[in-house]
Chain A
């Protein structure tokens, strides 16, 4: 594992490198989609910048709320110093900031949600490489499978001689395939369906992977992430069911019919 790299006297965390690549990948895909939709391509870069800022703020605030009892020193020092980011906080913060941006740009639409769908799946797949390379503790339970591996030099190292399930690799492959499938379906369904499919598939993926990860059970033999996964699976399924019952069902239909429907709405 390579938790840090040193370039010209500067230490760079490998997790941070892939954290950045996750947003760059998403931005490139969003730019292509915006071009396809005859929207300004520059919006992709605005979305990424807003998402990064909102994500960092949300991840940090969530961390501070979760750990407020163990924090010491000044408020300024706690907010801007040290480490501590929580993915769900980042997701919430990024979402809120992007929604504010979309309202400002007049692009608060289901098309934006669809871009977020395959973007989040792709970003998750790329971001998990950072977990794998840095060995940050997102790996799985001890295992003797032929592909099990140790993270002895990770930021959260495994004990010497212990091999574990490399769950970040499972997650990159599974969510990468989800991103590819959703991307190839982007013109086949009415706006909103792709994002609902993302919720369903991301929920299934994380629910399954959690069985191999080390997170402790919080209720009914399930981890917190599994309960959250069930929630987003149900949310996506309900959204699909509602859209399927609407006029035209889930399919987008021919171009003329789609435009006519949107103008008459």
Chain B
């Protein structure tokens, strides 16, 4: 959503292009979150 809005704000050719940029930004954010977010504390962590 944020990526789409930014793309529109900076003059993406059309909504489709902006949505595609938003899609790429979403996936990039997702991968970054999965790699960098600290491991959640839970009852089943296998090591200390």
Contacts and interface: CB of A to CB of B under 8 A. Distances in A.
Contacts of B39: 36, 187
Contacts of A133: 20
Contacts of B24: 129
Interface of chain B, main secondary structure = helix
Interface residues of A, number: 39
Interface string A3-25: 00000000000000000000001
A246 interface: no
B30 A122 contact: yes
A146 interface: yes
Contacts of A176: 26-27, 30
Interface of chain A, main secondary structure = helix
A149 to B, nearest CB: 3
B27 A125 contact: yes
Interface residues of B, number: 24
A112 to B, nearest CB: 14
Contacts of A146: 15
Given A122-B34, A173-B26, A176-B30, A149 B19 contact: yes
Interface of B: 14-16, 19-20, 22-24, 26-27, 30-31, 33-35, 37, 39-40, 42-47
5 contacts: A118-B34, A122-B30, A147-B19, A149-B15, A168-B23
